[in-house]
Amino acid sequence: MDDGFTGCSFSRAVTSIEPRVEVVSPSRARFNVRAFDLHTTLSSGQTFRWRLTSCGWTGVVAGRPVILLRVENGFEAQTTVPVADWSWLSRYLRLDDDFEAVVRSFPDDEPMRAALAACNGLRLIRQPAWECLVSFICSSTKQIVQIEQCIELLSQRFGSPLVPFSGEEPVWDFPTPEQLMMAGEASLRACKLGFRAPYVLAAARSVQDGRLNLSELESMTTSEARTALTALPGVGPKIADCVLLFAYGRQDAFPLDVWMLRGLAALYFPRRRPSPKRLRDFADTHFGPWAGYAQQYLFHYARRHRPDLRTRKAKAS
């Protein structure tokens, strides 16, 4: 299905405009913003609750069912209840980012140029920290469609019901730490979590009893926040960096898993087999102040447009 963004053009010389919100009705608003591709952004593996339907992209943001639909010079948002202030959606979609500055900060090299050309209008979004943490704990050794299934099942079985769109299927909020803790490990496993179930349960207990305060991570350095997250069972540096990037916007967080190691090696070291440490050092120094943004472009580009990279292996040590 088409989200209405077919034919969008994009280049390094993007002209930014200040996002402007026009209230169409009490539950509908138009966001005038350029270079924002809903399809590329919402299917790029950073969030897992959005679905493309005949109505547009449907998801849940800040406890509200939302439909996003591309319109000329931006997109339109609709909710199921009246909204007086749309800042919650602007924050989620990171419309306060200076996107022109982001693009200009990227290294001017062949792989980055190819990623920019292939991933027109890809944006990072700002997810709720708890949902983001659970999502990426569930992501271990799973494909995106499988992660989406896990998150949807968790929401259906343990989340609080929300007001659905007229004539549409029921919808639920993402479950709280308390709701998942009360569910128990067996019920979590039944949501296709497998070996990840005790890790999600442990995270829920840590957040619920205050051992991990997700709000306090905001004031920590990235290194301190990464240490706090990796203290959780089942959370390694890659999962922690995903949470730091996609929930907290830490641009010095550059998630590296086997897939990204393979992609970086093929794109930047085609005639060599650099070690993971060499690739980590390269990622930490090459991509500038918006490195996390650059990572998402490279990740989506490699995953969607360079299937040949799947066969390349990085050096083991």
Domains of the chain, start order: 20-110 (3.30.310.40), 129-246 (1.10.340.30), 258-311 (1.10.1670.10)
Read off the tokens for 147: 């992660």
The beta strand positions in 26-146, using DSSP E, are 28-32, 51-53, 56-61, 64-71, 74-79
Amino acid at 220: M
pTM of the model: 0.90
Type and span of the H or E element at 154: helix 144-158
Q: Residue 102: phi, psi to the nearest 5?
A: -60, -50
Please answer whether residues 31 and 116 qualify as being in contact, where contact means their C-beta atoms are separated by less than 8 angstroms: no
Please answer whether residues 259 and 296 qualify as being in contact, where contact means their C-beta atoms are separated by less than 8 angstroms: no
Each residue's pLDDT tens digit in the chain (317 positions)?
334 322 222 233 333 334 688 999 999 999 999 899 999 999 999 999 999 998 999 999 999 999 999 999 899 999 999 999 999 999 999 999 999 999 999 999 999 999 999 998 999 999 999 999 999 999 988 899 999 999 999 999 999 999 999 888 899 999 999 999 999 999 999 999 999 999 999 999 999 999 999 999 999 999 999 999 999 999 999 999 999 999 999 999 999 988 899 899 999 999 989 999 999 999 999 999 999 999 999 999 998 888 777 655 444 33
DSSP 63: T
